[in-house]
Amino acid sequence: MTTTLRLGDTAPDFTQDSSDGPIDFHDWAGDSWVVLFSHPADFTPVCTTELGKTAALGSEFARRGVKPIAVSVDPVDKHRQWIGDINDTQNTTVNFPILADADRKVANLYDLIHPNASTTATVRSVFIIDPKKAIRTTITYPASTGRNFDEILRVIDSLQLTDSHKVATPANWRDGDDVVIVPSVQDPVEIAQRFPKGYTAVRPYLRVTPQPGR
């Protein structure tokens, strides 16, 4: 039974085998952020580059307190063979688990099989999950299009910043750029306390300020 997951929903828990052994998902996630991302199959070209890029960005994920975890419908022994290819062709070391979802348990929980695209292969979905196990972002790509992992890191930066400060991030924002003050903050004293570097009111509803903490 598939379920449509929406932002703010609790990420479904599960127990599933993986290239690193059995995973009890919520226990494995602990207090970390998680990026759960799905792959149509092992030994496919686009997936190989994606897992290689994720491994290469390991220090960037760790710096943000994020654990990546992949899911593919193939079994563990095939995953482990594939990891050798990924490491070799992408000049990296895969250091995160790949769930072995042969029974489609995770695929069904996270609605990863879209019959109008394929009745068997999972789509390329990304779930960014916060330490409270809430789904904060979902992105879905067709099987033919590889993901932009710089964008995934950018979204995580935005989420972590906006969770800590009463700001939102504008179009094409990157860490260190100016941000906007959320409309709910109107009290001048609060604004002065929260944004000591000041702000520019482009319009009453569009107030631009340097990124807090920078």
Q: How many helices (H) and strands (E) does the chain have?
A: 7, 11
DSSP class of 97: -
Q: How far is CA 77 from the centre of its chain?
A: 26
Catalytic residue among 29, 35, 36, 47: 47
Single-letter code of the amino acid located at 199: Y
Q: Residue 32 and residue 59: Cα distance in Å, rounded?
A: 14
Cβ–Cβ under 8 Å, residues 1 and 12: no
Other Cβ atoms less than 10 A from the Cβ of 99: the count is 26
Identity of the residue numbered 95: N
CB-count burial class (<10 Å; 0-12, 13-18, 19+) for 200: exposed
Active site residue 138: no
The separation between the first and the last C-alpha atoms of the chain, rounded to the nearest angstrom, is 46
**Strand pairing of 179-181 and 66-72?**
unpaired
CA distance 188 to 179: 18
- Tell me which residue has tokens 């943000």: 64
Active-site residues, by number, are 47
